[in-house]
Amino acid sequence: MPRWDRDELLRRGRVAYRLGAQNASVLERRLPAGELEQMRADRARLGDPEASDARARLKQKVATRTERSLSEAGYALITRIRGVVTAEKDAPKELRTAIGVGDKLDARNTNGVLTILASIIEREAALAAYGILPEDIEEARQIHTDLRAADLAQDDAMDARQASTEARQDAHIRLEESIVRLSARAAMAFRHDPILAARFERLRSQTGPTKDDEDAAGEEPIPVDPSADPVTP
């Protein structure tokens, strides 16, 4: 049973997404990879025109770095990290399984690359024991963010007008879960900033965000700003 009706969900979702985007540098390590972009995509699927407009702007931003090139970059990084773990005979089976050691992966399989990148990001501490540095994990995180954005931006078939009833229902439940998760984890992250923590806590409260919270959230941002491939002179 949904917590909120569609209009209330979208109201909370707008504030949640915008506050999350404003504080992404702090929150990204506490949230599942791609969480904020998925929230925006679900809002668009449920008919939020502001999220849909952001999607169109995003499509222009990612034009210089295609989904394929990003997927290939992710695949190359995954291959290297798998190689490091494979070279360690004492590496735990759980870690090998989680990052797909021994499994075939096609660089053109965007969803497969996204899944393994997310698994690598979630296992930063375990991988550190084998020489995988924070900057390696940050590279995985950036590729995952950009690839997820490119994948969603090109998914024109699933806009609000064409989404099936089942897809809308799934998006509704998923967005509710994302808002609750963001609310709890952000309140933890900003526990030393009572005003900001309270804004995030109200996202899942009975009354929801206040007018002041909505004003503080500001306007809809462009979801991500993927870096273009460097130009070689």
Q: What is the largest CA-CA distance in the chain?
A: 57
Give the pLDDT of residue 58.
56
Region 193-217: what's the mean pLDDT?
A: 97
Give the pLDDT of residue 225.
42
Ranges 111-120, 133-142, 203-212, 220-229: which has the least confidence: 220-229
Look at residue 156 and tell me whether its pLDDT is greater than 80. Answer: no
Region 147-156: what's the mean pLDDT?
A: 71
Look at residue 224 and tell me whether its pLDDT is greater than 90. Answer: no
Q: 3 by DSSP, 3-state: which?
A: coil
Look at residue 130 and tell me whether its pLDDT is greater than 60. Answer: yes
Look at residue 230 and tell me whether its pLDDT is greater than 50. Answer: no
Ranges 46-60, 76-90, 162-176: which has the least confidence: 46-60
For residue range 110-128, list pLDDT tens digits in order. 999 999 999 999 999 999 9
Between residues 150 and 106, the one the model is more confident about: 106
48-83 burial by CB neighbour count: b if 16+ within 10 A, else e? bebbbebbeebeebbeebebeebbbbbbebbeebbe
Q: 115 by DSSP, 3-state: which?
A: helix
Q: Return the structure tokens found at 80.
A: 């290297």
Torsion of CA 35, 40, 45, 49, to 10 degrees: 170
Q: What is the mean pLDDT of the chain?
A: 86
CA pair distance 19, 129, nearest whole angstrom: 34
Give the pLDDT of residue 226.
40
What is the Cβ-side half-sphere exposure of residue 178, based on CA atoms within 13 angstroms? 28
Q: Which band of pLDDT confidence, cut at 50, 70 and 90, is reported for residue 48? A: confident
The answer to whether the beta carbons of residues 150 and 66 sit under 8 Å apart is: yes
Give the pLDDT of residue 64.
45
Give the pLDDT of residue 54.
58
In the chain, the percentage of residues whose pLDDT exceeds 70 is 84
Residue with tokens 């931003």: 61
Look at residue 153 and tell me whether its pLDDT is greater than 90. Answer: no
* Phi, psi angles (nearest 5°) of residue 198: -65, -35
